[in-house]
Amino acid sequence: MACHAFVIHIAVQTPLHSNVGGLLSYTHGHALPPGTLVRVPLGQRELLGVVWESVPAAHADLPAGVALRPLAQVLDALAPLAAPWRQLVAFTARYYQRSLGEIAATALPPALRKLSNAQLLRRLQVKKKAAQTVPEQEKLVALTAEQQSVISQIEQNCGPFLLYGSTGSGKTEVYLHTVAAALVADPQAQALVLVPEINLTPQLLARFERRFAPTLGPQAVASLHSGLTEAQRLQHWLAAHTGQARIVLGTRMAVLASLPQLKIIVVDEEHDPSFKQEEGARYSARDLALWRGRDAGAKVILGSATPSLESWYACQQGRYQRLDMPSRIAAAALPGVHLVNMRQQPKSTVFAPALLQAITERIQRGEQSLVLLNRRGFAPVLWCGDCGWKSDCPHCSAHQVFHKGERRLRCHHCSASQAVPRHCPHCGNPDILALGHGTEQLQEALEQVLRNVQRPDGKPARIGRMDADTTQGAGQLQAQLAHIHDGSVDVLVGTQMIAKGHDFRRMTLVAAIAPDAALMSTGFRAPERLFALLMQAAGRAGRDAAFVGQQGSQPQMWIQTQQPEHPLYQALLHHDYPGFAQQQLHERQQAGMPPFVFQALVRADAKTQDAAQNFLHAAAQHAQSLPALVGVFLYPPIPMAVQRVANIERAQMLIEAASRSALQKFLHAWQPLLHPLKKQHKTVVRWLVDVDPQNL
């Protein structure tokens, strides 16, 4: 080891459930600063790693006879990742039961894995020379008394804050002012703004660029989300890491970005389940934002018109400071809610006549309507009335959805697709029926019933559709949003992606079609999510008080339901989130559900359902010997709601504890026992632990 005087411990992307889930050790001629990026050999591959510690070889505690391999390359063109970032990665790995390397790899842009030190140096030099068009400075608007009060409280207190603001109350303006104040107070300060979904990014990014780019420069605002190319993501990440980007706006992945001078974090629509990663490292960006803010001494603002029950309860416990903005900007009225009892309509009714009349009137006045159905495709399933055949996915325990435009059946779980059969594959019946409705079918139905309705300019009504199928191509999302904003679309049909965050100035009516399905869900969070979705959707109507006043219109929210007497709809009728939250928290406390208990899921994927459940049964038996089991309850293993995906059977076991620390202590003691267990259950493909699961 004479020429390799130091042992370097490296975080490399290896899954925690493998036998190499910890730090890996290599040799190097001299010590390297923690946070340095390196390339290391692993088997036949060469991987990106992050230096965690350097130890003199003479003091390294290594097993006898072990020969370490040297580092392949040191990427010292880039400044080391700072201690707060490493602490964030370490906490995320520890809390969510993942490996350090897996979390570090999740946080770093994929393009870094392919670059040499020389290539990285060139990227840094090119980045500094890059020029962009500076947008025109946004005209500042006068703050309302509520906005001024909230901004003052944020400046005077430490937080964290829950900004409970009605849809259209001007929460974004509060974000802009508080970010501006932080950047003025410290010329090196950085801000992080998180949104739940990519489709919300363009509009908010444009607001921040108009506000800050003219004074801070064209590269002061950067975005991080999965819709970027690898080159764009690397460029924006480097801007954040070097401090050139003063504001980073992104989806959940951005919470792990390297921001050495972070002073303020905003989590918009904090209630949204999209902040919880559901694949790979299953972290919650909202919860990590809170931890990161506390660790870095940065202020954290959670904003929502329908806060998560966890955040609402945290305010009641005094852990967050609640700031209220109940009024809409310019005295705009919240939409009136109309409940349509579909039990009183003919069985095959898709749109109640009164709703169609209301939509027609708005088209004729030059106003826009939004029709919400949280199910894409034409119909959820095809069915043969003669033999009972259904369009089941051959690889999953789910139906293949009928997409009429493509003439395809497509599984929304494994993406398998096939052409629509011309007759029943089992009995030959040519009359195959489409059961249920999807956004594609609603668009077609509206085009038919509104074909003779004219806009004020005498042109026929135009029906648009916005869902995952119509926005998957490059630039399609921005193009569709532009058509809505410029009035090219009179009625917009879509899924939940159109229901939150967007500022459609001409929208005066929102209609929810068949929302009752969510009430049938077995998940205890279903009512909370449905209420939030409908409240957010209602908030798209009547946002522009001047336009509504000029039109002489009344913004409305229509809900077609079989259960108009349901407490959820009755609370929605009065826009009563506090009442709904109180009722839900009472029910959860009675039932022993979060936020009154803490949960984790352990999931097993195997070739058979028996194999998956046998692994979980064995894992539960191993847990019985642990002293840390005190105060922790393990439920029996059960199949997941969608039991089979891509020919892999899935089972899960719920773990519950009255305290977070008891749950964490148990998981840390229990997880090492699961590694050798997998070797005994060879048909198990993988297993994972999901802490604070959102979907049971």
- Of 126-130, 147-151, 561-565, minimum mean pLDDT range: 126-130
| Unique residue bearing structure tokens 């709809």 | 569
Closest CA to 377 of 400, 352, 351, 349: 400
pLDDT of residue 127: 52
* Strands in 637-676 per DSSP E: 638-645, 648-657
The most confident of the ranges 63-77, 393-407, 531-545, 608-622 is: 608-622
What value does the mean pLDDT of the chain take?
89
Phi, psi (rounded to 5 degrees) for 57: -55, -35
- Of 250-254, 664-668, 671-675, minimum mean pLDDT range: 671-675
Angle of the 171-185 helix axis to the 145-156 helix axis, nearest 10: 40
pLDDT tens-digit map of 607-638 = 999 999 999 999 999 999 899 889 999 999 99
672 has pLDDT over 70 = yes
pLDDT of residue 487: 81
Closest CA to 478 of 221, 202, 227, 229: 202
Give the global pTM.
0.91
DSSP codes of every residue in 206-244: HHHHHHHHHHH-TTSEEEE-TTS-HHHHHHHHHHHHTT-
- Residue 315 marked ligand-binding: no
- Residue 384 marked ligand-binding: yes
pLDDT category of residue 37 using cuts at 50, 70 and 90: very high
Q: Of all residues in the chain, what percent carry a pLDDT higher than 70?
A: 96
State how far the Cα of 230 lies from the Cα of 237, in Å rounded to an integer: 10
pLDDT of residue 1: 42
State how far the Cα of 176 lies from the Cα of 173, in Å rounded to an integer: 5
pLDDT tens-digit map of 161-187 = 999 998 888 899 999 999 999 999 999
Residue pair 458/420 in contact by the 8 Å Cβ criterion: no
- The three-state secondary structure class of 330 is helix
Round to the nearest angstrom and report the end-to-end CA distance of the chain.
52
Mean pLDDT for 354-370 is: 94
Closest CA to 632 of 590, 671, 594, 661: 661
- Residue 393 marked ligand-binding: yes
Residue pair 183/246 in contact by the 8 Å Cβ criterion: yes
- Residue 158 marked ligand-binding: no
- Name all domains of the chain by residue range, CATH numbers in brackets: 6-116 (3.40.1440.60), 145-329 (3.40.50.300), 333-376+438-589 (3.40.50.300), 377-436 (no CATH), 598-691 (3.30.70.260)
pLDDT of residue 2: 45
The better pLDDT of the pair 682, 529 is held by: 529
pLDDT of residue 451: 92
117 has pLDDT over 90 = no
pLDDT tens-digit map of 397-423 = 888 998 887 888 989 889 899 999 988
Instruction: Give, for 163, the enclosing helix (H) or strand (E).
Output: strand 161-165
- Residue 3 marked ligand-binding: no
pLDDT category of residue 131 using cuts at 50, 70 and 90: very low
- Residue 427 marked ligand-binding: yes
Alpha helix locations (H) across 50-99?
83-95
| CA 17 centroid distance within chain | 25
pLDDT tens-digit map of 273-321 = 999 998 888 999 999 999 999 999 999 999 999 999 999 999 999 999 9
